[in-house]
Amino acid sequence: MSRRCDHGSKGKMLESSGETTMLIDTHAHVSSPEFADDLAAVLERGTSAGVGQLICVGYDLATSRRAVELAEADPRVFATVGVHPNSVTEEAEDWRQTIGRLAQHPRVVAIGETGLDYYREFTPVDDQKRALRWQLDLADELGLPVRRAPSTTT
């Protein structure tokens, strides 16, 4: 079972009055290891389907680093960096500092994905709250929006 959210937006080309609208996928997990072998093909299929840009959402340290790398390498890609509530038990002491450094990259557009997940209970609530607080503080400090984990409770 995946520990992060398992949804994703499905892009479609919109046409209205003969004009074509570029779509932006605002929640893509293409920094996940599952895309390591065919990422270029995935991005090209997205482009062919009208997805002109995507926001690659990090959910732990490795995927946040990879999201920034992808954003640097491809002008279609922007990044978020953060720690999903179901990944907070893997969090090491230096994650906050590293995520904070990554968040200052000009192609990072939000902090997250983060939030509180009381449904799946993979991680202690107090650890989730602590991680959410420092990510909210980081977002506030940098003036960035927060990408909420969509499966979390409100």
User: Residue numbers of the site for Zn ion (CB under 5 A)?
Assistant: 5
DSSP assignment letter at 32:
S
Q: Please identify, using beta-carbon distances, which residue of 10 and 93 lies nearer to Zn ion.
A: 10
Q: Please identify, using beta-carbon distances, which residue of 43 and 115 lies nearer to Zn ion.
A: 115
Helix (H) or strand (E) holding 109: strand 108-114
Q: Please identify, using beta-carbon distances, which residue of 47 and 151 lies nearer to Zn ion.
A: 151
Return all residues near 44 (Cβ < 8 A) that are at least 6 apart: none
Q: Please identify, using beta-carbon distances, which residue of 5 and 39 lies nearer to Zn ion.
A: 5
Give least dist CB 1 to Zn ion, A.
Answer: 14
Q: Please identify, using beta-carbon distances, which residue of 86 and 91 lies nearer to Zn ion.
A: 86
Which is nearest to 65 in space by CA: 25, 26, 27, 33? 33
Give least dist CB 147 to Zn ion, A.
Answer: 8
Q: H helices within the chain, ranges in order?
A: 39-48, 61-73, 95-103, 125-142
Residue with the CB atom nearest Zn ion in the bound state = 5
How many CB atoms are located within 10 Å of the residue 148 CB? 16
Give least dist CB 136 to Zn ion, A.
Answer: 18
Give least dist CB 56 to Zn ion, A.
Answer: 10
Give least dist CB 53 to Zn ion, A.
Answer: 17
- The C-alpha angle 106, 23, 82, rounded to 5 degrees, equals 40
